[in-house]
Amino acid sequence: MTLGGKPQLEDIYALGVEPAIIKDPGNGGALDVSHSGYCELTSVGAAETRTLADPTFKGQTIDFVFVVDGGDIVITCASPANQAGNTLITFTDVGEHIRLMGAYNATDGWEWKTIVTDGAAQT
């Protein structure tokens, strides 16, 4: 990025734009939805699960990236996370990613909306 015609020299962290890190709670754990952030998922067992509560505010975003594949991870969402009404997100290979955004409507209440998915399957 260029500011004032000169290349930017500040470290990106100095600008305060890095995402908050959301800790992977491990097999059977509940993912933290108290703030937006970035979560690196790691599996050590053959098949693991996580749960994802509804978002806590409009525009909240969470990125999930599968970084260590000891087996599949399935996230069960409290409400549908896409237009098709799917509540499961399955990660099978390292590098798979999904970004979710929090939304509210009078009919369904709080729910996640899928912004982008790269490999993570929704069912």
- Measured from the Cβ of residue 113, the count of other Cβ atoms closer than 10 Å reads 15
The confidence score (pLDDT) of residue 15 equals 64
pLDDT tens-digit profile of 52-82? Answer: 999 999 999 999 999 999 999 999 999 999 9
Order of strands, sheet of 37-42, starting from the edge strand that comes earlier in the sequence: 37-42, 61-68, 97-105, 109-118
Q: Quote the longest CA-to-CA distance of the chain.
A: 53
Per the DSSP assignment, residues forming a β-bridge with 74 are 49, 90
What's the N-to-C CA distance of the chain in angstroms?
A: 39
pTM (predicted TM-score) = 0.86
Walk along the chain (123 residues) in steps of 10 and give the mean pLDDT of each run.
58 70 97 97 94 96 97 97 95 98 92 96 96
Contact 41, 24 (CB under 8 A): yes
Residue ranges and CATH numbers for the domains of the chain are: 21-122 (2.60.120)
